[in-house]
Amino acid sequence: MRKMLSSGVCTSTVQLPGKVAVVTGANTGIGKETAKELAKRGARVYLACRDVQKGELVAREIQTMTGNQEVLARKLDLADTKSIRTFAEGFLAEEKHLHILINNAGVMMCPYSKTADGFEMHMGVNHLGHFLLTHLLLEKLKESAPSRVVNVSSLAHHLGRIHFHNLQGEKFYNAGLAYCHSKLANILFTKELARRLKGSGITAYSVHPGTVNSDLVRHSSVMRFFWRLFSFFFKTPQQGAQTSLYCALTEGLEILNGNHFSDCHVAWVSAQARNETVARRLWDVSCDLLGIPVD
């Protein structure tokens, strides 16, 4: 049954010796499986994790499993822009190249709370944190072209809306919808990033990994109950990683720059996710919130 519900496998045979990859949230779930496969193919892989101790354990595990010793854990807390800037500074000082950036980490169904910088947690971590990280690593991606950015979104974006008057959830808040809004923001960011970087050698893709049996629902006891109840029907983390890997590795995918993928195929997105005006405004608002000069 699980196999029937989890179509889509990355069949690329591309090897990655000499390539450098960063995977956020790589100490568990889809991120861990993604990092493991990149390491297996010979890449130097950075596990960018909030819990760096757990990240180091996973790095050693991947080293042992793949025989690739170039798997490194580094501290990255996407709920704190200081941590994001510190990670980026360290990475840029350490590495000459960056070929693959997979913005995989995320939070879901959090009770109302704010990041260290005062952003609503879902929008702050899932969108703004990755927006800033990508911005800080952009020049390195350009220097390393051809390079790719993969943003992990969700089918839940169909329920999302970008309420610019309530971006931080202070006027009204629903934990489930807040997640959906942030996943819509991931797709809008991807499309606008692809548009702005056209011809630069960097391409960007967003993905829906499927419904995966992972600890993403750790903040909701109700969701944890349903996850356990129906876990047999969900994808494994390895299956959930396939579309991220497909977008990171498949040759000739550049012509589909900016598209959204599910089960290793281009997927339909909501009308909101196709709204170029909203995408451009969200870009400008994100820059303003993060103190990034608007071009």
Catalytic residue among 112, 173, 179, 246: 179
Active site residue 46: no
* Tokens read off for 22: 């960063």
* Residues identified as active-site: 179
